[in-house]
Amino acid sequence: MKTAAEQASSKCPVTAGTPAVQAKARDVVLQVRDLAVDIRTHRGTVRAVNSVRFEARAGETLALLGESGCGKSMTAKALAGIMDPVCDLADGQILLNGTDLAALSPKERLKFAGPGLGIVFQDALTALNPVYTVGTQLGEAFRIHRGLNAKQARLEAIDLMKRVGIPEPESRVNSYPHQFSGGMRQRILIAMAVALNPRLLIADEPTTALDVTVQAQIMQLLRTLREEGQMAVILITHDLAVVAEEADSVAVMYAGNVVESGPVSEVFADPRHPYTKGLLESVPVHLERGAQLKSIPGSPPELHHIPAGCVYQSRCPLVQDICRAERPALRAVDNSPTRTAACHFSEEITNA
């Protein structure tokens, strides 16, 4: 594999601003530039993901936050190269350690996929094959990518199960997926994703199907693995609280576009896009019981009817003529090197 990580990091926007930022500056593992994904439907081609930009750093968690249909899962699938056949990668670069995944042939990409990036799906039951033991499925990566024989792969599988905290791995390695509980299955899925020590781990709603007490365990495991392997983690979620607790930086998506990004603490404390602000206000906290929640009126636009101007115009309280005419680009806000927002009036949003 290329050692272009340093190269990439030197190219990335300057982060040597405040000392705090400098202390946190880490290698950029993944850089996504102007990613666009099209879906072909019977009513024509629609753009599900549009000029999405973000970067993920080693040892940090980037959250992709958005509601259903906003394109966050599609983005993840595009990164992992497992899109449905009706979807096309229309534009953009996916630089993993400096290598553009988008430019690779499917075959090269397959070779790259295991060692380079791992992905954890939401539904652990359907993501595992019910007719193979978990040992076989965990060992598969080693057999394919490292050419180990069945016995060695089994040992590696046991080792992995230990790493993700599955009790009695020696006996449970021969169990089938349905014999595990939901939380344990999710651990197996995570083990599969980190088997080859990837630089990047994509977790697509990893805890949505789990109970809160189990969710806390899984999140703790992800944190530990991230620190151990100095992985970059992309956490895809719709849960603001999970983002607040687990992520270092966040990219908020709406109707296929990134509308705001930056460090979680700054974005949540002082949102610079009306959608982010609306989302934060929709959470019932610090409110008197039964008090009216500030909800966002309406619902997200259909992909067939995304308006010409700003994607959020139909639900935005600040909408002006310019919003209908011109789509705002994602630009730096607050003179901060790390914060961006795609709004014409991002300076006028106050967190009052």
The answer to whether 273 touches 342, Cβ cutoff 8 Å, is yes
Is 12 one of the binding residues for another protein (CB under 8 A)?
no
Q: Which of 12, 103, 269, 329 touches another protein (CB under 8 A)?
A: 269
H/E segment holding residue 96 = strand 87-96
Please choose, out of 19-27, 92-100, 227-235, 295-303, the segment that lies near another protein by the rule CB under 8 A: 295-303
Cβ proximity to another protein, 129 vs 320, nearer residue:
129
3-state helix, strand, coil in the chain (%, to 5): 40, 20, 40
Answer for which of 6, 11, 22, 40 binds another protein (CB under 8 A) is 40
Is position 171 an interface residue for another protein (rule: CB under 8 A)?
no
Q: Does 220 bind another protein (CB under 8 A)?
A: yes
Shortest separation between residue 234's beta carbon and another protein, angstroms? 16
- The DSSP letter of residue 314 is G
Which residues between 77 and 106 bind another protein (CB under 8 A)?
A: 77, 80-87
Stretch that binds another protein, among 20-28, 151-159, 277-285, 317-325 (CB under 8 A): 277-285
Compute how many other C-beta atoms are within 10 angstroms of the C-beta atom of residue 85: 6
Segment interacting with another protein, rule: CB under 8 A, options 5-13, 15-23, 97-105, 110-118: 110-118
Interface characters, 131-170, with another protein (x: CB under 8 A): ---------xx--xx-------------------------
Q: Where are the alpha helices (DSSP H) in 117-250?
A: 124-127, 134-146, 150-163, 169-172, 182-194, 212-229, 240-246
HEC secondary structure over 47-67 = EEEEEEEEEEECCCEEEEECC
Return the half-sphere exposure (C-beta side, CA atoms, 13 A cut-off) of residue 127.
Answer: 21
Q: Which is nearer to another protein, 27 or 214 (CB)?
A: 214
